[in-house]
Amino acid sequence: MRRIMAFNQVSADGYFSGPDGNLDWVVQDPEIGKSMAANLSGPGTILFGRRTYEMFESFWPKALDDPKTAPNPHGGGRSAETRAMAVWINEATKVVFSRTRKDVTWRNSRLVRELDPREIEEMKRQPGADMIIFGSGSVASRLSEHGLIDDYQFVVCPVLLGNGRSLLSGLPKSGKLTLEEARPFPSGNVMLRYARAR
Amino acid sequence: MRRIMAFNQVSADGYFSGPDGNLDWVVQDPEIGKSMAANLSGPGTILFGRRTYEMFESFWPKALDDPKTAPNPHGGGRSAETRAMAVWINEATKVVFSRTRKDVTWRNSRLVRELDPREIEEMKRQPGADMIIFGSGSVASRLSEHGLIDDYQFVVCPVLLGNGRSLLSGLPKSGKLTLEEARPFPSGNVMLRYARAR
């Protein structure tokens, strides 16, 4: 069974983005980048809400072509890790949940109008690598509500945003997690890894 | 100079209370209780917003009198730590910021109509033990905005609330922190200790 992992950078006061979705407060961390790049294996699948997809789409397709001038919402410059990430993201199957997009033209992208939990379960039963979801608050909330996210990784940055968006909202009930790892980095970031409790 | 420390239990998805202010999701932790009880020294000062004050007022004054039947929003039953905490809280100077309360009758409580940052600075210059603020989102936000909170302790509970209140809101700008400690407990809680970066 393929797993779905939610990966997010968060502020110490619990926000996942600034009020307007900005991520310029994220404390970049070459060590976390390296660790993620090392774990990228084979063709992956990324699940997206529209907004996060558009943010990724504005950066990653050209991240390899024009590394010097491309804006980089995720920082890390033109490091080997950023390049590995760019290759992996461009190759990955990108499933975009949106009712308003007409189409998606970024390589290996697929538009899905409605998030049907049964279809996600079906995807998890298919062979293939694990799936990952970055940000995408509304999609992450729906998946969490149906118990479809298996793993949560939060990189807690040493920043108080004092305003912003929460990743999950509108869930009818709370859910328990199992702490797998709490790992501080020299940057002051702390990686918290959880599995959904069974 | 006395310091002000904000102490909060938070969910893994960044909420400090449920939508209606409830804390019934908090994962109780005798080890954290013991560590806090061991650090209680001398008469303290607690800063409160009205709502948090009223929650504390409904529990702690009678926590010693009627330990069996008193509701306990903070759990921990009638342990030695809860008793030590009850003595300390009842003895502490309680400064309550509220425009709507007529008066405050709990022992050692003082009502303050307006939060004036200069008065807080003056309090910090007075001799005495460090001050602590639990919850009290609006007061914590104002103090954070003026750089008056020196230390933040977040106990991240292994729970997804999926809905609730953020501690800080309405801050005009973000602020940097210095990570002092990231300590996991067997309960799955992780204590994150930060100092305000200078």
Is residue A197 in a domain? no
Domain presence at residue B23: no
**Cα–Cα distance, A29 to B105 (Å, whole number):** 50
Residue position matching structure tokens 């908090």: B26
Q: What is the pLDDT of residue B25?
A: 94
Chain B residue with Cα closest to A171: B162
**Predicted pLDDT of residue A83:** 85
Q: Is residue A78 part of a domain?
A: yes
B190 is in which domain, residue-wise?
4-16+43-196
> Between B144, B158, B162, which is nearest A160 by CB?
B144
Q: Which of A25, A156, A161 sits opposite B192 (nearest CB)?
A: A156
For B159-190, write each residue's pLDDT tens digit: 999 999 999 999 999 999 999 999 999 999 99
Hey, what amino acid is at B16?
F
Residue B128, in any domain of the structure:
yes
pLDDT for B114-157, tens place per residue? 999 999 999 999 998 899 999 999 999 999 999 999 999 999 99
- Examine residue B118 and state whether it is found in any structural domain, yes or no: yes
Contact B110, B104 (CB under 8 A): yes
- pLDDT of residue A40 exceeding 80, the answer is no
- Provide the whole-model pTM: 0.92
How buried is A3 (Cβ within 10 angstroms: 0-12 exposed, 13-18 middle, 19+ buried)?
middle
- Across the interface, whether the CB atoms of A179 and B190 are under 8 A apart is answered yes
Strand order in the sheet with B159-160: A109-112, A93-97, A45-49, A131-134, A4-11, A151-157, A190-196, A175-184, B159-160
Total domain count, chain B? 1
DSSP state of A81: H
Residues counted in chain B = 198
Question: Would A157 be classed as within a structural domain?
Answer: yes
A111-135, pLDDT tens digit by residue? 999 999 999 999 999 998 899 999 9
**Amino acid symbol at B198:** R
- pLDDT score of B76: 46
How big, in percent rounded to 5, are the helix, strand and coil portions of chain A? Answer: 25, 25, 45
* A168 in Cβ contact with A15 (< 8 Å): no
Mean pLDDT over each residue of chain A, to the nearest integer: 91
Amino acid B42: pLDDT: 72
Asked whether the predicted pLDDT for residue B30 surpasses 90, the reply is no
pLDDT, residue A69, reads 45
- Average pLDDT taken over every residue of chain B: 91
**Phi, psi at A176, each rounded to 5°:** -90, 150
A138 touches chain B (CB under 8 A): no
Residues of chain B in contact with residue A155, where contact means CB-CB under 8 angstroms, are none
The residue ranking higher by pLDDT, A11 or B43, is: A11
Q: What is the pLDDT of residues B57-80, one digit of tens each?
A: 999 998 887 655 444 555 545 578
| Residue at token pair 């070459």 | A30
* B54, pLDDT greater than 50: yes
DSSP bridge pairs for A11:
A157
pLDDT of residue A33: 83
* Any B CB within 8 A of A161 CB: yes
Amino acid A78: pLDDT: 59
User: CA B104 to CA B96: how far, in whole Å?
Assistant: 8
The per-residue pLDDT for B39 is 77
The answer to whether residue B121 sits within a structural domain is yes
- Kindly indicate the confidence band of residue A161, based on its pLDDT and cuts at 50, 70 and 90: very high
Residue B119 has phi, psi (to 5 degrees) of -70, -35
Which among A15, A175, A189 has CB closest to B14?
A15
> What is the least distance, in Å, from the CA of B161 to any CA of chain A?
4
pLDDT exceeds 60 at position A76: no
CA of A161: which chain B residue's CA is closest?
B174
Residue B69: which CATH number?
3.40.430.10
For residue A109, what pLDDT band results from cuts at 50, 70 and 90?
Answer: very high
Q: Across the interface, do A190 and B179 touch by the CB < 8 Å criterion?
A: yes
| Domain-located, residue B26 | no
